[in-house]
Amino acid sequence: MTLVVEQLLNGLQFGLMLFLIAAGLTLVFGIMDIMNLAHGSLYMAGAYVAAETMQRTGSFAAAVLVAALATGVVGVVLELVLVRRLAVRDHLAQVLGTYAIILIANDLVKMIWGPAPVMLNLPAALSGPVRLLPDLMYPAYRLVIIACGLAAAVGLYWFVTRTRAGVLVRAGASNRQMATLMGVRVPLLFLGVFALGAMLAAVAGALLGPITAVQVGMGEEILILVLVCIVIGGIGSIRGAFVGALLVGMVDTAGRAFLPMLLREVLPPAMASSLAATLAAISIYLLMAGVLVFRPAGLFPARG
């Protein structure tokens, strides 16, 4: 039971971080109709800026804040210089253009920080464990990540459903042409949504940096999982991104934790470990395929 609770918390933590990245990407694709493969590079940029700020200031809070602001500025520049021009092109041109940004971003990171991974240290106050159950000690930092992810989810829900800007975002996601005819300043809306998505990705990169490797190419690895979350939840839907991210986080974590133990009951240890790793890797894609069979538009599509 202790192991189950621990892995549930791990899955929740991983899913919430996926949600921070997926929320921005699904808004960009749902409203702007742009497939932005460079979103993973914004996640990577947030992690590197946070690591650099942490080394210079020693403050983790400052590192997260600076990473969000700096990456938001990068997002604004990227939208004004490239994305706005790609918005009038077809999806193939958008994929090629944003993929070029991935290559450029990776080379820029190598030029500035070098090819070796960069360390992003845990804040000293959160480096120890917290006793949640009599026999369960859970890392305090992971609990903080869960709290930050839940706070961001609640904040995004409030923003999208309770503010005028959120109404405009939902209107743009539902029918961009009608929103334009009703007087919505679509270019400004696009710019704000893109910057918000960049900042959310940067926060996720800064928070995950201390428990994952801050290295070149980290954005491409997480981007695949984020795209799966969006497809499962429904493109353009914040609620769908939240549910899809939690499902992917739970399934991925549970597969890696429990499949090896289950298979060792019926298979030799070496074969069980190899097969479990393979099944855990494909489990989220099986989940996506299963959802698409019954809900081709995702669980909570933005467009009715």
Q: What is the mean pLDDT of the chain?
A: 85
Radius of gyration of the chain (CA): 20
The whole-number pLDDT of residue 304 equals: 46
**Per-residue confidence band for 153, with pLDDT thresholds at 50, 70 and 90:** confident
Res. 173: pLDDT tops 80: no
Could you count the other beta carbons within 10 Å of the beta carbon of residue 44? 29
Question: At which residue do the structure tokens 């839940």 appear?
Answer: 150
pTM, whole model, 2 decimals? Answer: 0.88
Residue 193: the pLDDT is 84
Is residue 244 scored above 50 in pLDDT? yes
Q: pLDDT tens digits for 89-117?
A: 887 888 898 899 999 999 999 999 988 88
Of 113-127, 260-274, 286-300, give the lowest mean pLDDT range: 260-274
Q: Is the pLDDT of residue 68 over 90?
A: yes
Q: Is the dihedral of CA 113, 116, 119, 120 positive or negative?
A: positive
Eight-state DSSP code of residue 118:
B
- Would you kindly state where each structural domain of the chain is located, as residue ranges? 11-216
Q: Does residue 43 or residue 175 have the better pLDDT?
A: 43
Ranking 37-46, 105-114, 167-176, 233-242 by mean pLDDT, the lowest is 167-176
